[in-house]
């Protein structure tokens, strides 16, 4: 088996903040040419799709890993110490990328056809996410695994997200004579109090509990510092469960706002479907006694399930270490993740049969 620790260290040693993925993509392409000569792959800018030779009668499984990171903290070390591998991207998600590469190396031993996707731009704005433009070029798949950090637990589905600007209006005046105006900031106080006191909403989807929350995350006026503002904008971030829609959440927000302000949606990220009822997943969960949790955040799983590809999040990184100034991943998690996915791709994919009717579990 490939030396996962050394490979993860190598990937972590290559800086790849969003927008600067060329060097790491060059490295992975060079590795493919050296370690898997003749295996077909394609490159679009700084993203790769790898398709080892397919055999009829076997399920096709996609393995997805983004190769960019957030900018590294200046205090971030790169070392192995105390059973932990330190470095920016070690958890999110270069350890997952290394596991994908190890499984590609062993593809001839597997009982599934692989499609491996290494893509740029996940940590930045949505318009720069390479998977967004690559999704229509992917070959058909029966299932997909997104190797985001999950501590080797299955994290099913993912939350939807919405950003909406709530604008409170007032009357402009000189700040030395505020009684001549109406401060738009004060008009927002009752709404902010509602958000402060609003409990998280528990939503059960396929036996998993997701928590819907609304949070004010940014606030601004557009006036000079000595002017009573006639408009006050609050960015409200809504996180909602896989069985709800953006239209439902917008209606919910409008009811909270009432007639006191105007609401304008900035952007929406749809939730990802919960796919643990799929026969491949259920057999893997049972065979390996895997822990299943809801994904209380957004991942590109949502993009895949919206495209008709059942998927789960499953990777060796620690979600609690993502984007931290001191990022690390457990060394033992690397080997464990590889072994669990190897069982899935070699044993579960060999022993599980399913029909198109079974895919109705994606309700």
pLDDT in tens, the chain (363 residues): 579 999 999 999 999 999 999 999 999 999 999 999 999 999 999 999 999 999 998 999 999 999 999 999 999 999 999 999 999 999 999 999 999 999 999 999 999 999 999 999 999 988 899 999 999 999 999 999 999 999 999 999 999 999 999 999 999 999 999 999 999 999 999 999 999 999 999 999 999 999 999 999 999 999 999 999 999 999 999 999 999 999 999 999 999 999 999 999 999 999 999 999 999 999 999 999 999 999 999 999 999 999 999 999 999 999 998 888 899 999 999 999 999 999 999 999 998 876 655 544 443
Q: State whether 196 and 320 are in the same domain.
A: no
Is 127 among the residues known to form the active site? no
Domain identity same for 326 and 259: no
Domain identity same for 216 and 331: no
Query: Token pair 């895997």 is at which residue?
Result: 290
Q: Are residues 14 and 154 in the same domain?
A: yes
**Contact, 84 vs 331, CB < 8 A?**
yes
Query: Final residue of a domain: which of 269, 302, 322?
Result: 269
- The domain total for the chain is 2
92, 122, 246, 327: which is the annotated catalytic residue? 122
State phi, psi for 38 to the nearest 5 degrees: 90, -15
> Looking at the structure, do residues 314 and 356 belong to the same domain, yes or no?
yes
Domain of residue 258: give its range. 160-269
Question: Which of 226, 243, 269 is the C-terminal boundary of a domain?
Answer: 269
pLDDT at 355: 63
| 228 shares a domain with 281 | no
Is residue 35 part of the annotated active site? The answer reads no
> Is residue 154 domain-shared with residue 44, that is, in the same domain?
yes
Judge if 154 and 164 occupy the same domain. no
pLDDT given for residue 354 in this prediction: 63
pLDDT score at 363 = 39
- What CATH number does the domain containing 186 carry? 3.30.70.360
* Catalytic residue (choose from 21, 68, 246, 327): 68
In a shared domain, residues 36 and 80: yes
Distance (Å, whole) CA 47 – CA 82: 33
Co-location of 147 and 181 in the same domain: no
Residues 67, 31: Cα–Cα separation, whole Å: 14
Whole-number Å distance between alpha carbons of 29 and 82: 32
**Three-state SS at 182:** strand
* Cα 84 to Cα 89: distance, rounded to the nearest angstrom: 13
């Amino acid at each position: 088996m490939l030396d996962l620790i050394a490979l993860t260290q190598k990937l972590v040693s290559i800086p790849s903040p969003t927008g600067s993925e060329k060097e790491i993509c060059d490295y992975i392409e060079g590795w493919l040419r050296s370690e898997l000569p003749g295996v077909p792959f394609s490159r679009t800018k700084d993203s790769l799709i790898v398709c080892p030779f397919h055999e009829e009668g076997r399920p096709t499984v996609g393995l997805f890993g983004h190769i960019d990171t957030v900018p590294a903290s200046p205090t971030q070390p790169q070392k192995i110490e105390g059973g932990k591998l330190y470095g920016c991207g070690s958890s999110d998600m270069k350890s997952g990328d290394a596991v994908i590469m190890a499984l590609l190396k062993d593809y001839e031993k597997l009982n599934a056809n692989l499609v491996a996707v290494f893509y740029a731009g996940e940590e930045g704005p949505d318009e720069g996410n390479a998977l967004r433009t690559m999704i229509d070029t992917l070959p058909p798949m029966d299932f997909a695994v997104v190797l985001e950090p999950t501590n080797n637990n299955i994290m099913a589905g993912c939350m939807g997200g919405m950003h909406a600007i709530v604008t409170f209006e007032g009357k402009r005046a000189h700040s030395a004579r505020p009684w001549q105006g109406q401060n738009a900031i004060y008009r927002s106080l009752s709404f902010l109090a509602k958000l402060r006191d609003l409990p998280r909403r528990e939503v059960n989807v396929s036996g998993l509990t997701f928590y819907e929350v609304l949070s004010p995350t940014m606030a601004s006026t557009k006036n000079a510092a000595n002017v009573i503002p006639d408009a006050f904008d609050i960015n409200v971030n809504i996180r909602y469960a896989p069985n709800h829609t953006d239209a439902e959440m917008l209606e919910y927000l409008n009811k909270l706002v009432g007639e006191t302000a105007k609401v304008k949606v900035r952007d929406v990220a749809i939730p990802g479907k919960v796919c643990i009822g799929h026969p491949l997943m259920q057999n893997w969960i049972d065979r390996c006694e895997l822990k299943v949790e809801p994904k209380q955040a957004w991942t590109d799983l949502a993009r895949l399930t919206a495209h008709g590809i059942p998927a789960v999040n499953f990777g060796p990184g620690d979600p609690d270490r993502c984007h931290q100034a001191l990022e690390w991943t457990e060394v033992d998690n690397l080997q464990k993740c590889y072994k669990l996915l190897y069982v899935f791709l070699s044993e579960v994919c060999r022993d599980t049969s399913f029909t198109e009717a079974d895919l109705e579990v994606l309700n």
